[in-house]
Structure 1
């Protein structure tokens, strides 16, 4: 099982768009069994798979979300059903939701905002422990984790659980100048927590190839010593079809024979090759 976190401390860089489409492409095009974990309290990745009505029904049915990994015995208040008590579940009882053949999701939950977890409490290890259990039960090839755009306990939980991470970057100065800082934070986490975590690389999103800002972004990354070897050769173009699709729970791969779908498949192939190179040198 390969566990990959998609991480950036800046919002609006296409992180969720990339992570959800990578998960979908791995399942549909590569025929891999994939689990998507939405550990971002904003649960944007979840909304790419559920309409508003479907998610409300999912929650009203008491189905599992990422909150069940971190929550203890609590009383929850629903605007529909009022107050209810929910006991903490063991990992075996927390069931991912099957979206389609090969593709599952453990949905996000806005109530993650209400949980206070301090570093060192042990709760940052729960996602990893859960994945160890769910792997025995369901046997996934890939787990994709969509993380929040903050250096939070949720990001730490994702890093602890992961083998690899990817940094999606929008080619504008505010997005790519923070990558070195993010790398420093991740390196510190790796040292503090003794993580065997590998950097797969930077994938550019919302790209307009003809612009000066895109060309400067590529030049900057390729001239930065600790980043220059990590820039993916393939990227996601900026297209109005992408946000429209997300609103209707469809994906880039659904745009058959399009430039976007070809590029996404190329990103997947490149990502797999990078993983295989790491695994060859273990």
Structure 2
């Protein structure tokens, strides 16, 4: 299990830097941890929250996450969940959150699968699509009018397929090798779970590249702009009033920094202090978890 890293005291980070008085000392400019002296969070109207590794792991809330969500709403602000995980439909996320004691509608869920559907409708209307994904995602695509085709597609879309097998990989590699437009829902290499990390869509892309010699022509999910455009369209919020909160520097935080949003890194999932020290992606704020953000919300 990936455990929460507490960073509110002094000591070694295990990542080549030291925590001294709440500062991460490394090769780059020191980063303040668990602080928001500039009041950035007070001015935010919409919190775009990653899910896996940010508010929960598996079926377990990360400590303080529900209190964080309640605090946002108590202050008259709002939140949406923005996940790159395309292996589940919005309805499945709603059911899961309900089992965990949170009543949330599908309007609070934004997935890379939904953003990919919007992209296909805009750029490849009516085209036959080979979708490397599980049955839930296939049902979602078909329900939105995307024509799925196994033998003679015009476009290839790859997702986080938790039912992946060798036959599927052979087929998708053939289509990609043949030069079809190649779109991916998201780039994440690993997905955090209660038991540890499992290979995600980025690992599938690496397999395809090794065989077919191509990476995706377009990646929809974080950190890329397509999912942010979809987020802004769905919420109606101004970019400067939205903050992306997540546990991955190369997806969540880069999504904010590359596309006009603020970015807050939490150390409760994939990213470690060593990753932060070595990364060129610099979040606006860093917290041990969303729990430590609560005092700074308003």
Structure showing the higher helix proportion among its residues: 1
- State the TM-score, normalized to the length of structure 2: 0.31
- State the TM-score, normalized to the length of structure 1: 0.33
Structure showing the higher strand proportion among its residues: 2
